[in-house]
Amino acid sequence: MGIRRFKTLKPRNPCPECGNATIFRGRSEQVQEDLCEVWVECDCGHNPFEGKSEHCIESVWGSLDEGFLLMALAEWDELTEAA
């Protein structure tokens, strides 16, 4: 559904693949008629959310506004904590 590249919001944990800590992509995808999942991935393409949809943020419209991106970044930090 949507992709938004951003560098003003930053996670605590850098990408475990490339070390990037500044440029990420917000992603949203429709998964049901009235439900989208929102997550972030590194600009290199690393996506710790893959296969872990329970960590994606649920949104009716798939909005990639700052509030949803901040929630997705918090989930990024949780998923990459052990990496």
- What percentage of residues in the chain have a pLDDT greater than 90? 84
- Cα–Cα distance measured from residue 5 to residue 71, given in angstroms and rounded to the nearest whole number: 16
Q: Which of 77, 70, 59 is nearest to 26 (CA)?
A: 70
Mean pLDDT of the chain: 93
Going from N- to C-terminal start, the domains of the chain cover 2-80
- Residue 83 above 60 pLDDT? no
pTM for the predicted model, two decimal places: 0.90
Cα separations in angstroms, 80 against 1, 2, 47, 57: 25, 23, 10, 16
C-alpha span between 75 and 56 (Å, rounded): 8
As a whole number of angstroms, the distance between CA 73 and CA 76 comes to: 5
Q: For the segment 31-69, what is each residue's pLDDT rounded down to a tens digit?
A: 999 999 999 999 999 999 999 999 999 999 999 999 999
- What letter represents residue 65's amino acid? D
